[in-house]
Structure 1
Amino acid sequence: MTSLIESYEQQYSVLTAEITSEIGKLKRMPADSEKREQIRAINASIDEGLELLEQMGLEIQDVDSATKSSFTSRLNCYQAELKRLTQEFQNAKNETQIQMYDSSDFDELTTSGISSGQQRRLLDNSERIERTGNRLTEGYKTILETESIGASILQDLSSQRETLKTSRARLREANEDLRQSSRIMNSMIMRSLRERAVLFGVITIFVVVVISTFYYAVTH
């Protein structure tokens, strides 16, 4: 089971390295047709990465509890990494679309009689879209950081829960030992009281016999 998960991890590592490289190529490509092909290829790789992580998550559900926490934490990191790559790809794709729009459609609109005011508004809209994309990127980074902190907190809580379970089990054992010791002490006390009662009875009988003997000797 763990060997299959590790195989998925190796495939995922190779795939994310390829996605990172392909995104870098997309940013440097000048030709529109090549960029479209590159975008399709990256989309396919991201879908493959999502499928790998899904399979990994299913396999992790069946591992033993001793290693499940470690695999789950690693899966969370992989998911966060793929989200980051997806957002980076989306930003690169947006920039590509803006460039394609500026280099082709905008020139066609200009030659077809669009006024300078309309051109200016189109440029302003493009700038606003770019600023919005940047804000979304920053917000996504914040989400990733928050998710990482949350995963760390959950891992700490899980560790503390195991510690509490162990401490509770030890307390139960100590409590049971105390109960057993209390029962033994009570048994010893009761035995001691019985022995004292028997001894007191023997002494009483002995005293009565001595007194009776002495009295009989004196009167006769």
Structure 2
Amino acid sequence: MDAGGSELFESYEQDFEAIKVSITERLNASGSQNGEVKKQTLRAADREIDEANEILQQMEMELLNLPQGSKTRLQARLRGYKAELERLKQTLKRAQSTSRSTSDRDELLGGISGGVDLDAASMDQRTRLLAGTDRLAESSRRLQDSHKIALETESLGAGILTDLRGQRDQIIHTRNTLLEADSNIDKASRTLKGMARRMATNKLITASIIIVLVFLILFVLYSKLFR
């Protein structure tokens, strides 16, 4: 598939354009024909219209494989092809309504060359139908491949989601551990501050006791020396 759309879709477009030209030529030729020759020409045009309609249906199937951007653009072209085919159908109906209902043996014999052209057209139609069948099989294979890729992608996505869920649980556990550690640190900090305050108090008490003892010693010495 290229950047502008589908190579297979473009191939269908070429087939449609070719068969549209053939239908138009047959309808134009039928205007100057009479009898059985004209009937054969119109029947051949009718068969080619059916084939053109099948090609349009294959285009619709191919659009299912395209991204939305290309699909929107190609859908507009497909609607144009349908409108063209509808005009050809109306032209064929008018030609059939004006066709003569009977013809004599000479006209039938004179239409042998037309019959040869019809056989050639039938062979060409069979060839086109076989080619269309091959393209349809290719489209089916692409759909199957796309479905397989979608399943593999879904499985891979499920595995990634499972891994992410496990990582999320680990992150939550780590966060809870950090919160608990932070709480313990706060408790330890408060305990150390309390101990520091008690140590300062103890130092102050010890210093006071030492000062009192010194004064007592000095008082005792003074009392003994000056008694």
Shorter-chain TM-score range: 0.3 to 0.5
Q: Which has the larger radius of gyration?
A: 2
- With the length of structure 1 as denominator, give the TM-score of the two structures: 0.47
